[in-house]
Chains A and B, each alone.
Chain A
Amino acid sequence: MSRTRRLRAAVRADWHSFLRRRTAVFFTFFFPLIIVVIFGVLVQTEPTGGGLFAEPPAYYVPGYLAVVVLFTPLSRVGSEVARHRDGNRFEKLATTPLSRAEWLLAQTLVNVVVIGLAAMFLLGLVVALTGAVLSLSVATVLLLGVYVAVAVALFCGLGAVIGASADSQDGVIAASNAIALPLLFLSDTFVPLDMLPAWFRPAVALSPLTYFSRGVRAATADAGVGSGLDTLLVLAALAGVFLAVGAWSLPRTD
């Protein structure tokens, strides 16, 4: 009961605190819109041609979703950790019953809701603007929701590690971008594996985003809801590890 009470208080505070930062909320939704418009509408895909965007539009759906699933938690949780450290908030929290894991869980829950909404918005946008053909049902959408939630949790954990390691908010943003950009393009998202050198392809399996990408692609293809569940398990296991490491890395002392 008391844990529920603590989590509820922390989620409520974080929810209000985030949603009232209008610029942050705006760009959470606007940034993926820009990506879809640039790559999905202006560049467009050429399934019969060569070049980067040679796959059918549906192939790139995991990549578009990854824009919010990857970037937002990394930068948001990382910055929040930096702000908490700068404002001596962790020092204060260390003397309250709220544990570091509970703090990160509260941050994660807020991110899951906000990014889940952004992902649904993005999915509709991709279908409407790029003509991507997806096999969507209630079960598929629910499964997509699970993928998004698990991946967001994973990257919240990684964001906590970045925030705890960087010495400033600027450092968090720089580190987040340095980590997220390679992951975004080298996780079987926008760049198909056969476009990468053979020697590099095994490295793609090291990216957690790869399992999100493959799972989402399998879930939205005709293969059915049951396909790709193995990737979901891998993703969930990684999320657990990253959340644990993230919670452990949060500052408790100066």
Chain B
Amino acid sequence: MTATVVAEGVRRVYGETVALDGVSLAVEAGEVFALVGPNGAGKTTLVRALLGTTDAEGSVELFGRDPRAVDPERVGLLPQSFDPPERLSARELLDYYGGLYDEARATDAVLADVGLADDADTWYETLSGGQQRRVCVGTALVNDPDLLVLDEPTTGIDPRGRRALWRLVEDLAAAGTTVLLTTHDMDEAHRLADRVGLLADGRLAAVDDPDVLVAEYGGRSRLVVEADADSDALDIGYRTERSGDALVVHDVPPAEIGAIVDALDRAMISFDSLTWTEPDLEDVYLELTGESGPAGSRSAPAGVAGDRATTDPAEPGDGGRR
């Protein structure tokens, strides 16, 4: 593959604040690359450095050229906190940005892509926050770019709209568009990205396939038992430790949760909830940014869906005691 974006030793300093400290990365053609990291980690500054909209030290090339010498027809950008001109409808805004390019996609097609066909003639100001963000995403798509850069594209968008946008990005990537996005949504990064770069304190702490990152840095599965008991009260063959108001049992396969419940029952330990969590990209994020707390502190509240199985002892047949 050929690299669409190549950055070497990118450094950006604002006064005494080092926003980027020698970041190097390459994004291959057709790849979806997600940048994640805490607020202030330097994600937006890196996006700007890559596109040449901020002056940074080091070298950056887009399509093998200086970013400011690249044909702008090939690049589509959604800036962070983007607020387009006022008093224009969604259609007029897309017409405006499309009109800046020699070849633009049909406005109706872009409106359909971002799910705004029915609100096309509504003024931007009167759209909901999520709809506004979708218009902004549309402005990055109007020129059918080879490189699409989305700085927090799904901020403020409801789950349905978010998933529609994810499908759109997946379709674009399948068609060969290189996508560079920043996000705070780890599910988004994991689902969309071929590779994830974790930025912390202006440095890339890790870059890899999200599954590889999870395997390397995510830790192991945990069963968090909200119970008032000592860690040595259970003899279950799994490493168990006390963390806050809970017992944390490590490396429990989902199929063994029933055996743990039986063991709790035998030990006469009453519990308020059981939460099983599999390591994911958020664990990687917390681990590499130094934000992870004590073991089990990231346990989800009862009823959380997804890759966490939660057992509420109030439900019949669960063996729990009050």
Tell yes or no: A48 within 8 A of B by CB.
Answer: no
B87 touches A6 (CB 8 A): no
Nearest A residue (CB) for B55: A253
The segment from A13-21, A183-191, A232-240 that touches chain B is A13-21
Residues of B within 8 A of A2 (CB): 102
Partner of A17 from B48, B80, B81, B86 at Cβ < 8 Å: B86
A8 touches B85 (CB 8 A): no
Residues of B within 8 A of A21 (CB): 86-87
B87 touches A91 (CB 8 A): no
Minimum Cβ distance to chain B for residue A13 (Å): 4
The segment from B21-29, B92-100, B212-220 that touches chain A is B92-100
A96 touches B72 (CB 8 A): yes
Minimum Cβ distance to chain B for residue A3 (Å): 10
- For A, the interface residue count at a CB cutoff of 8 angstroms equals 29
A95 touches B51 (CB 8 A): yes
Q: For the complex, give the distance between the alpha carbons of A93 and B52 in Å.
A: 12
Tell yes or no: B75 within 8 A of A by CB.
Answer: yes
Residues of B within 8 A of A5 (CB): 99, 102
A96 touches B97 (CB 8 A): yes
Interface of A: prevailing SS: helix
Tell yes or no: A9 within 8 A of B by CB.
Answer: yes
B100 touches A254 (CB 8 A): no
Interface residues on B, range: 35 or more
Q: For the complex, give the distance between the alpha carbons of A97 and B73 in Å.
A: 7
B82 touches A88 (CB 8 A): yes
Minimum Cβ distance to chain A for residue B184 (Å): 18
A253 touches B53 (CB 8 A): yes
Q: For the complex, give the distance between the alpha carbons of A14 and B100 in Å.
A: 13
Tell yes or no: A223 within 8 A of B by CB.
Answer: no
Minimum Cβ distance to chain A for residue B273 (Å): 44
| A residues 160-196 touching B (CB-CB < 8 Å) | none
Total number of A-B contacts with CB less than 8 angstroms? 95
Partner of A88 from B80, B85, B102 at Cβ < 8 Å: B80
Tell yes or no: B79 within 8 A of A by CB.
Answer: yes
Minimum Cβ distance to chain B for residue A100 (Å): 13
Q: For the complex, give the distance between the alpha carbons of A10 and B99 in Å.
A: 8
A96 touches B48 (CB 8 A): no
B92 touches A16 (CB 8 A): yes
A97 touches B53 (CB 8 A): no
Tell yes or no: B77 within 8 A of A by CB.
Answer: yes
Tell yes or no: B83 within 8 A of A by CB.
Answer: yes
Partner of A92 from B54, B73, B77 at Cβ < 8 Å: B77
Given contact pairs A95-B77, A96-B72, A254 touches B53 in the complex (Cβ within 8 A): yes
Minimum Cβ distance to chain B for residue A245 (Å): 21
Nearest A residue (CB) for B77: A95
Nearest A residue (CB) for B139: A92
**Interface positions of B (Cβ within 8 A of A):** 48, 51-55, 72-73, 75-88, 92-93, 95-102, 139, 143, 149
> Can you list 16 pairs linking A and B with CB atoms under 8 Å apart?
A9-B99, A10-B99, A16-B92, A17-B85, A17-B86, A83-B86, A89-B82, A94-B52, A94-B53, A95-B72, A95-B77, A96-B100, A97-B73, A97-B100, A98-B100, A253-B52
Given contacts A13-B93, A87-B81, A91-B53, 12 further A-B contacts (CB under 8 A): A5-B102, A9-B100, A12-B95, A12-B99, A17-B87, A17-B88, A88-B79, A92-B79, A92-B84, A96-B100, A97-B100, A97-B102
Top 9 nearest A-B pairs (CB, nearest first) are A9-B99, A87-B83, A20-B87, A13-B96, A88-B79, A95-B77, A96-B100, A91-B79, A98-B100
